[in-house]
Amino acid sequence: MSPSNRYAMLDGEETTRSSIDSHARNRRGPIRVLPVESSEILAQMLPIALAADPDLHVDMVVIGHEAVVARARTTRPDIVLLSSALPDTDVAGLISDLLAAVPDTKIIVLSESYEEAVLFACVRAGAVGSLTWQQSRDELIHAIRRAHAGETLIDSHVLLRLLQSSRQDVPRSNPPPELAPREIDVLQYAMAGLRNKAIARQLGISVHTVRAHLQNAMAKLHVHSKLEAAIVALRAGLIEFPE
């Protein structure tokens, strides 16, 4: 991919209020974002692009495994934007260490293109999904809001392949963790790729209740994202692989 395409995400139009997720908009204080990027150009452009939105607070750009974990532990970001191209860095390992230090942080992996093996490793480590630099600034900001609201940022066909791989590669846990029936229902829909609002419609409950069920399930399964919870529940035989 050419450099001009890689930077296309930063050249979008002004963010419109119609694209803002209501959960993120109504929270107290701005969404704290920590960018992790080794490219000097992107390290300069990304904070400027995101800072145009008053509902985001963008931290300094950092690189280096230990420096990133230390900064996250100090600033407690809501969202980490993590480049998949950090030199001499095991990105999946960095994700694991970040979530050990700041469990409530949502990690979005940014890459030049969808590299399935890298994405699988990052999601299994706890990332909420991946975006490419081909997307606009508006799309990136909207993705940050979605991730902060507990959504998964991954294409449905990639999600199905990831879940299929997890089902084949990992034996079921014994004994399986105990989840409430509604928590299982929510994870079943989540595994099918539905967003929280769609899950709420399917179950006849509020989006707030969906989030509460997801948070409870994630706590019981000791994971950091909706996608991780679905994978663990699949491995445990609590939910079924979608047809």
Q: Is the pLDDT of residue 14 over 60?
A: no
- What pLDDT does 194 receive? 81
* Short-list 194, 213, 125, 99, CA closest to 154: 194
Among 153, 169, 186, give the residue marking a domain's end. 153
pLDDT band at 145 (very low <50, low <70, confident <90, very high): very high
pLDDT, tens digit, 9 for 90 and up, residues 226-242: 877 887 887 788 888 76
Q: Which domain holds residue 201?
A: 158-235
- What pLDDT does 160 receive? 66
pLDDT mean over 130-136: 81
Which tokens hold the place of 107?
């990690």
Do residues 205 and 140 share a domain? no
pLDDT band at 19 (very low <50, low <70, confident <90, very high): very low
pLDDT mean over 100-119: 85
Do residues 149 and 207 share a domain? no
Do residues 126 and 52 share a domain? yes
pLDDT, tens digit, 9 for 90 and up, residues 157-208: 666 666 666 655 544 555 667 899 999 999 988 877 788 889 999 999 999 9
CATH number, domain at 192? 1.10.10.10
Q: Is the pLDDT of residue 111 over 50?
A: yes
Do residues 147 and 165 share a domain? no
Q: Is the pLDDT of residue 99 over 70?
A: yes
- What pLDDT does 181 receive? 93
pLDDT mean over 85-109: 92
Do residues 212 and 228 share a domain? yes
- What pLDDT does 243 receive? 62
pLDDT band at 31 (very low <50, low <70, confident <90, very high): very high
Do residues 43 and 61 share a domain? yes
Among 138, 153, 168, give the residue marking a domain's end. 153
- What pLDDT does 116 receive? 72
Residue 243 counted as domain residue: no
Among 153, 186, 214, give the residue marking a domain's end. 153
Structural domain count of the chain = 2
Q: What global pTM score does this model have?
A: 0.72
| Residue 178 and residue 220 in contact, taking contact as beta carbons nearer than 8 Å | yes
pLDDT band at 2 (very low <50, low <70, confident <90, very high): very low
Residue 242 counted as domain residue: no
Do residues 87 and 180 share a domain? no
Mean pLDDT, the chain, rounded, equals: 80
pLDDT, tens digit, 9 for 90 and up, residues 45-84: 888 888 888 899 998 888 889 999 999 999 999 999 999 8
Runs of H (alpha helix) within the chain:
3-6, 22-26, 40-51, 65-75, 91-101, 116-125, 137-148, 156-169, 181-191, 196-203, 207-221, 226-235
Do residues 32 and 87 share a domain? yes
Do residues 144 and 176 share a domain? no
Do residues 123 and 171 share a domain? no
- What pLDDT does 178 receive? 86
- What pLDDT does 63 receive? 87
In angstroms, what CA-CA distances link 40 with 43, 58, 63, 173? 5, 16, 11, 44
The pairing of beta strand 106-111 with beta strand 79-83: parallel
